[in-house]
Structures are given as structure tokens and as C-alpha cells.
């Protein structure tokens, strides 16, 4: 369960480096290639996987992840399909933390209890449900925690004041610091801002904290890896898939290689730091 | 009976913004501090007598309220049943009920020290109302509108631009109203300090459904006074069309505890409920979570949101306000539907019989009235919310009426 998450951060800390988390949407560009992409990511230094549960109306996401969601839905990806991808991933990678990220409606329709049971059976470690703030904890968070899934909280620049303890109260796994006031994959935050945010977060919690939203280059990843316990790259990775899909015919092998190369560049840059 | 009576239908939402299982605050953490700030400001402001005085001033002198309650003699004769009254909110400045809400929220935004306004719009009526209020109060205005609607509703786009608003065509998702709302929310998240988001209907995260309802309730409050003056009693029934449901909520809410008043909300059945191409979330949808609230939604069995269809861009939304969802669950309001074709017939009929060109939205309400009124005795009284005028629809409607040899 969330042991995998804490062990992952503990190992990285022992190696004096930050955890590299990679986000991709399940089923983008297809269920089969998803599995190959995930393997390639782990092969090339991804310490943790955030697997997107595609939703038609991803309110907090920028154009790249919106498009990824729609590509996956168009190819028939469902929540059940996402859990299948998770399950087969877990069989191949017994130690890599796997977190599901998405929006509440597909889970609500799937059924809360069935979802918790099936996610645990698939070897999922944690959940990031973007549109379930602490005010709606009775919807899913309380039962998910009880069952042993980490409920990972987003902390944003606007959360850092008196609201931070509210957000941290039931947080599990790690803290996901949203480095910009905005949606995924748009602008990037200044290093000083992130520094100040982490000082504040570390005052309030002993959970590891990662930074995401707007990290695109190996240089940014390396820089943030000095401050943060982890770095999450999503939109930039998803954009590589988007480019491959825009070509006349999709060359899956080539796509998987590009994903691996990019992941390796991030991982190497972070190691040097 | 006061608003807080325990057996009242008017005590909701609760503190969590719930109407039964519906409503709530299903938003990203990035948005949460913003809506809490709006809620706090709204609670303070609505109990401030100075705010009420200011709002009343603009309602009277700028919008032109109260809007008349008009007995429609020729439609009454034509339907040959109950007496039909029209609440003439199409006579408001900017031509629809939308301005009632926008002025309230714009005044609130000013009090909060916000200088820039965000709005989403479908047909453009809410966008025009928002652009109007922003011109009046010297606020910057950014309107998000589906690219498809920008094309279909050019006159309203032109009005917004003339009024000084920046119109952002939205091409994400399916380029419709739901995507415009996604994009407006995204924009707000990225600009939290300076911007206030004026939502145009009784939907979205708490406190919007409550706040928009309160600002629109002026419709029902006036109606109650006016019908007592005209007929010496309450009406037997109310009818209003429903997309998100703000005009309907505005008319219905002051009457919810008057059990003798039957209430009918008319959703858009598009090409027909059975075709799957409609916008009737209560009739053809299931509860789910979108745009910050739980309510009935048009969605697939996997929980992906489906596109709505209606001839009326103002009803073309896959959800409905959470208070309507609750009123549907408890059975206080009856929700029915009318097709594109039925609405078109009424667009023509009302123009010819009353000299009132209705918007396509209230044409749906008229379509239900045409079936309902003949079943009632002649001493019964029915009030229909004429929530918008049809000038904006001429470009879309005239070719259709010509094709049906009605012109």
C-alpha cells in the first residue's frame, strides 16, 4: 500500500536525490501503448507513476492534458480500463508507487466502494482527486484512507495561509505542491517562490512534498530537485505523445523511445544536482 | 411563514452548500480559497442595508424593474383554458432576466475590491449582461464563449465587443457552453487576486447557486405582489423554461411554500428525448459531479459528460442547477420537456397573437403551456416567465419558419 510511496521517498533521500514522478493519461494513445510507455518510464528513471483517469471536463488541466484525456476517451478508455492498466503495471513492477489522478465523476458513477476495492486490488497506492477538496472528504477521502489508500492533497500558492492545516489534516503519501496559480502545463514558477512555499509546508507536515505544474525542462527539474522531495512532470511528457499522434501514422515504437529519452534526460539532470 | 420555518422549502442550501444530495463544493484546491472568499463576502454583503438600497436603485432605474405582469388575452383565448399571464422579464435592459443576477454580482465584486470580471456565456445573453454591468461600473470584462457559439451568435458577440468586453472563443473540449465554463474557471484559477467570476446561472460551486437564486428571486417576489393586485389571489400554476435554471428559480423560489401553487419547469427536449439529442438533464440524465456541484447530468455510463442539444443556445447545457435537482427529487416542482419543433411553433404563435417575440428559451415554456392550459378550467390562473426576447434568435429561426411556410 502506501508503504511503496514512503519507501520510494526514503530510498531517494538515502541517495540524496529527489523522486521523479511522471504523469501520463491512461489509454493515451491506446491501452496497449500505455503499458509500454509506463514500462519505458520506469526503465528510464521514473521513480513514481501518476496515472491519469481520463475525464471529459478536466477543469484544472491545461490544453496538453485535456487533449490527452480526450484522445484516451476516444479510444474507449474507461475507469475500469484504467484499473486494468494499473493492475498489469503492478504485476510487472512490484515496487514502483502508482497513484491515480483525476476527477470525481467517473469514480462516483463507478461506485465509491467498488472503486476503492478495485483500486486496492490493482495495487494502487494513492489517489489525487482534483475536485475533492477537504470540504468534501465524506465523499471518498474518509473511506479511501480507512481502506489504506493514501489521499494525496494538492497545496497551491493560495492555500499557504491559514488554510494549509485544513488541507494537510487528512493528507497521506506525499504533498503535491502546485507551483503556480493556474492550470497544468502553462507558466512556470520562480525558484524563490517555491523555496518560500516549502519552508511553510515543512513547518506544518513531515510528509514528503513534491512540486508539479509547469515543469518542462531538465534544467527546471534539476533546480527544483534541490528544494523539493520530488518533481512531477506531466504536460511536457504528454505533449510528446500528442506530437506522435499528430503524425500521419503513429509509430508506437518511436513514441515509446522518445518518452524514454525525455524521461532519462530529466532523471539524469536531477541526479547531477 | 418565515424563510426559516422547519417545514419550509426555502431553508436550503445548508452550510456545505447542499440541497439534499445535490450542490456542494467540488472544486480544485486552487479554486477553493476563492469561492470561500466569495461566500464570506456574500454573507456580509447581503445583510448590509446599503447594498440592498444600491441594488434596488439599479433595478428600478437601470434595469427598469418591476417588469410588468401582463394578461395575455389572445394566447388565453387560443389555448381555451386557464388564464395566462406573462411575467415580462424580456423587457429588462439587455432583453432578458440575466441582468438581475449580473448587477448583484458586479456590485458584490466592486465591494470586494475586484477590478476585473470573468463570465461564461452560451447564447451570449449572460455575456452581454455582464459586459453591460462592467461598462456601467468601469470593470474589465473577459467573456468565455464556445467557438461554435461565437459563430452562431454574432450579434451578441458584436454587442459585447462594443460594450468593451474581450470575448475569448473557446476551442477546447467540444467548444460549447460547458467548455466555456471550464475555460472561465481555469482563467479564474490563474488570476485569483484581481478577478471575480460572475456565473450566469444557478449552478457551480456553493455559494453561486444560492447567490444567483437570491438575485433572481426579484422576479417571483414582484410576481406575487402583482398577481395579488390583479386577481386578488395566488396563481394556480407557474411555468418557466430551464437550462441551468436561473429564471425558473427566480420565479419559483418565493412560491415554494405556497403549496396550492403547482410549479412546472420545462427542459429542452431537442430533437426528442428518445433520440438522445436533447438538453433535458432531469428527464434524461443521472446525478454526477461537474462544474463544482452534484446535480443531474447528461453523461455516459462511464461518467463522461455528453453534449447537450437544443435549438436554444441558452438551454444547451448538460447540467441543471442543484436546487432544481433537489426539487425534482422531492417532487415539489414538476419537470417536463418541449422539443425544438414545439418551441419553434410557439415562437411564431406568440409573435402573431400577442405581438411579443419570445426568445427560443421561453418558447419552450409556452410549448408546455399550450398543452397544459387547455386541461384547466377557465377560472384558473397560470403565470409564465417570459424571460427573454427573441430578437437574438431571428437569424436562426427565420429560415426554419420559412421552410415550414409560416412566413
Closest C-alpha to A170, from A143, A194, A190, A192: A143
- How far away is chain A from the Cα of B172, in angstroms, using its nearest Cα? 7
Task: Measure the CA–CA gap between B167 and B186, rounded to whole angstroms.
Answer: 15
Name the residue facing B29 among A78, A103, A155 (closest C-beta): A155
Inform me whether the pLDDT recorded for B2 exceeds 50.
Answer: no
Instruction: Give mean pLDDT, residues B142-161.
Output: 92
Give A-chain residues touching B179 at CB under 8 angstroms.
57
Cβ distance of A103 and B305 shorter than 8 Å: no
- Of all residues in chain A, the one with the smallest CA distance to B32 is A133
DSSP secondary structure string, B307-365? PP--SSGGG--S---HHHHHHHHHTSSEEEEEEHHHHHHHHHHHHHHHS--B-HHHHHH
The H or E element containing residue B19 is: strand B18-19
Inform me whether the pLDDT recorded for B1 exceeds 80.
Answer: no
Inform me whether the pLDDT recorded for B123 exceeds 90.
Answer: no
Cβ distance of A131 and B30 shorter than 8 Å: no
Cβ distance of B173 and A57 shorter than 8 Å: yes
Instruction: Give mean pLDDT, residues B219-245.
Output: 98
Question: What pLDDT is attached to residue A2?
Answer: 60
Cβ distance of B29 and A154 shorter than 8 Å: yes
Partner A contacted by B16 (CB < 8 A): yes
Inform me whether the pLDDT recorded for B6 exceeds 80.
Answer: no
Partner A contacted by B157 (CB < 8 A): no
Alpha-helical (H) ranges within B47-176 are 49-58, 73-79, 98-111, 125-137, 147-152, 154-162
Cβ distance of A136 and B25 shorter than 8 Å: yes
Domains of chain B: 33-60+98-212 (3.40.50.1100), 65-95+217-403 (3.40.50.1100)
- How far away is chain A from the Cα of B388, in angstroms, using its nearest Cα? 29
Q: With beta carbons less than 8 A apart as the criterion, state whether A234 and A179 touch.
A: no
Name the residue facing B33 among A132, A159, A180 (closest C-beta): A159
Q: What percent of chain B has pLDDT over 70?
A: 99
Task: Grade residue B295 by pLDDT with cuts at 50, 70 and 90.
Answer: very high
Question: What pLDDT is attached to residue B28?
Answer: 92
Partner A contacted by B147 (CB < 8 A): no
Task: Measure the CA–CA gap between B56 and A111, rounded to whole angstroms.
Answer: 47
Query: Total structural domains in chain A?
Result: 1
Question: What pLDDT is attached to residue B366?
Answer: 98
Task: Grade residue B386 by pLDDT with cuts at 50, 70 and 90.
Answer: very high
Instruction: Give mean pLDDT, residues B319-334.
Output: 98
For residue A105, the enclosing domain spans 3-272
Alpha-helical (H) ranges within B153-207 are 154-162, 177-190
Task: Measure the CA–CA gap between A130 and A125, rounded to whole angstroms.
Answer: 16
- A206's CB contacts (< 8 A; 6+ apart) are none
Task: Grade residue B5 by pLDDT with cuts at 50, 70 and 90.
Answer: low
Question: What pLDDT is attached to residue B8?
Answer: 94
Rg (CA), chain B: 20
Name the residue facing B178 among A54, A57, A131 (closest C-beta): A57
Give B-chain residues touching A104 at CB under 8 angstroms.
26, 289
Which residue out of B302, B307, B319, B322 would a mutagenesis test of the A interface target, given it has the greatest number of A Cβ atoms within 10 Å? B302
- How far away is chain B from the Cα of A155, in angstroms, using its nearest Cα? 7
Give A-chain residues touching B33 at CB under 8 angstroms.
156, 158-159, 161, 163
ipTM comes to 0.94
Question: What pLDDT is attached to residue B4?
Answer: 52
Instruction: Give mean pLDDT, residues B186-212.
Output: 94
Instruction: Give mean pLDDT, residues B208-217.
Output: 98
Q: With beta carbons less than 8 A apart as the criterion, state whether B317 and B178 touch.
A: yes
Name the residue facing B28 among A79, A109, A131 (closest C-beta): A131
Q: Please list the rounded mean pLDDT of every run of 10 residues in chain A (273 residues).
A: 88 96 97 96 98 95 93 96 98 98 98 98 98 97 97 92 94 93 72 90 96 91 94 95 91 95 96 64
The catalytic site residues of A sit at 50, 61
Cβ distance of A104 and B289 shorter than 8 Å: yes
Q: Check which CATH number belongs to the domain holding A236 and give it.
A: 3.20.20.70
Q: What percent of chain B has pLDDT over 90?
A: 90
Amino acid at each position: 500500500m502506501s508503504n511503496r510511496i514512503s519507501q520510494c521517498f526514503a530510498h531517494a533521500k538515502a541517495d540524496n536525490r529527489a523522486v521523479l514522478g511522471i504523469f501520463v493519461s491512461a489509454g493515451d494513445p491506446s491501452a496497449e501503448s500505455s503499458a509500454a510507455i509506463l514500462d519505458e518510464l520506469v526503465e528510464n528513471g521514473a521513480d513514481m507513476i501518476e496515472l491519469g483517469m481520463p475525464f471529459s471536463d478536466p477543469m484544472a488541466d491545461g490544453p496538453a492534458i485535456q487533449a490527452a484525456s480526450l484522445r484516451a476517451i476516444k479510444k474507449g478508455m474507461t475507469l475500469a480500463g484504467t484499473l486494468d492498466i494499473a493492475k498489469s503495471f503492478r504485476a510487472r513492477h512490484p515496487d514502483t508507487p502508482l497513484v491515480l489522478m483525476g476527477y470525481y465523476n467517473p469514480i462516483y458513477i463507478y461506485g465509491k466502494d467498488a472503486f476503492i476495492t478495485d483500486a486496492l486490488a490493482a495495487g494502487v497506492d494513492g489517489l489525487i482527486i482534483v475536485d475533492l477538496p477537504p470540504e468534501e472528504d465524506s465523499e471518498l477521502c474518509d473511506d479511501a484512507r480507512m481502506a489504506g489508500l493514501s489521499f494525496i492533497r494538492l497545496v497551491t500558492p493560495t492555500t499557504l495561509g491559514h488554510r494549509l492545516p485544513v488541507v494537510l489534516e487528512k493528507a497521506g503519501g506525499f504533498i503535491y505542491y502546485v507551483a503556480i496559480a493556474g492550470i497544468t502545463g502553462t507558466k512556470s514558477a520562480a525558484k524563490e517562490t517555491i523555496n518560500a512555499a516549502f519552508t511553510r509546508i515543512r513547518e506544518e507536515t513531515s510528509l514528503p512534498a513534491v512540486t508539479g505544474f509547469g515543469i518542462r525542462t531538465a534544467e527546471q527539474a534539476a533546480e527544483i530537485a534541490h528544494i523539493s522531495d520530488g518533481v512531477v512532470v506531466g504536460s511536457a511528457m504528454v505533449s510528446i505523445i500528442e506530437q506522435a499522434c499528430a503524425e500521419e501514422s503513429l509509430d508506437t515504437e518511436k513514441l515509446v523511445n522518445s518518452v524514454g529519452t525525455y524521461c532519462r534526460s530529466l532523471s539524469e539532470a536531477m541526479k547531477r544536482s | 411563514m418565515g424563510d426559516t420555518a422547519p417545514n419550509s422549502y426555502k431553508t436550503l442550501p445548508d452550510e456545505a452548500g447542499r440541497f439534499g444530495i445535490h450542490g456542494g463544493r467540488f472544486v480544485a484546491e486552487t479554486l477553493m480559497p476563492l469561492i470561500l472568499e466569495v461566500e464570506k463576502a456574500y454573507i456580509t454583503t447581503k445583510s448590509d442595508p446599503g447594498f440592498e438600497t444600491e441594488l434596488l436603485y439599479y433595478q428600478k432605474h437601470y434595469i427598469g424593474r418591476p417588469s410588468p405582469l401582463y394578461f395575455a388575452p389572445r394566447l388565453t383565448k387560443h389555448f381555451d383554458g386557464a388564464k395566462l399571464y406573462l411575467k415580462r422579464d424580456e423587457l429588462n435592459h439587455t432583453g432578458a432576466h440575466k441582468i438581475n443576477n449580473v448587477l448583484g454580482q458586479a456590485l458584490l465584486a466592486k465591494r470586494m475590491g475586484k477590478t476585473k470580471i470573468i463570465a461564461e456565456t452560451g447564447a451570449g445573453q449572460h455575456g452581454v449582461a455582464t459586459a453591460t454591468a462592467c461598462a456601467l461600473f468601469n470593470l474589465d470584462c473577459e467573456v468565455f464563449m464556445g467557438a461554435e457559439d461565437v459563430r452562431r451568435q454574432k450579434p451578441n458577440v458584436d454587442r459585447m465587443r462594443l460594450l468593451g468586453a474581450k470575448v475569448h472563443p473557446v476551442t477546447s473540449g467540444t467548444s460549447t457552453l460547458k467548455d466555456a465554463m471550464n475555460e472561465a474557471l481555469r482563467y479564474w484559477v490563474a488570476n485569483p487576486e484581481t478577478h471575480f467570476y460572475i456565473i450566469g446561472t444557478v449552478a457551480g460551486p456553493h455559494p453561486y447557486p444560492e447567490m444567483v437564486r437570491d438575485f433572481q428571486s426579484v422576479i417571483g417576489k414582484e410576481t406575487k405582489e402583482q398577481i395579488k393586485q390583479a386577481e386578488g389571489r395566488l396563481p394556480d400554476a407557474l411555468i418557466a423554461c430551464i437550462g441551468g435554471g436561473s429564471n425558473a428559480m427566480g420565479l419559483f423560489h418565493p412560491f415554494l411554500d405556497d403549496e396550492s401553487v403547482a410549479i412546472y419547469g420545462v427542459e429542452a427536449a431537442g430533437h426528442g428525448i428518445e433520440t438522445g439529442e436533447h438538453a433535458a438533464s432531469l428527464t434524461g440524465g443521472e446525478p454526477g459531479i461537474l462544474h463544482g456541484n452534484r446535480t443531474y447530468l447528461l453523461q455516459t455510463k462511464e461518467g463522461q459528460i455528453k453534449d447537450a442539444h437544443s435549438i436554444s443556445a441558452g438551454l444547451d447545457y448538460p447540467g441543471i442547477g442543484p436546487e432544481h435537482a433537489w426539487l425534482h427529487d422531492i417532487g415539489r416542482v414538476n419537470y417536463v420537456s418541449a422539443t425544438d419543433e414545439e418551441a419553434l411553433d410557439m415562437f411564431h404563435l406568440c409573435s402573431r397573437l400577442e405581438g411579443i417575440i419570445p426568445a427560443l428559451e421561453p418558447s419552450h415554456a409556452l410549448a408546455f403551456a399550450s398543452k397544459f392550459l387547455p386541461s384547466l378550467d377557465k377560472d384558473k390562473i397560470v403565470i409564465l416567465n417570459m424571460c427573454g426576447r427573441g430578437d437574438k434568435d431571428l437569424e436562426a429561426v427565420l429560415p426554419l419558419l420559412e421552410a415550414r411556410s409560416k412566413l
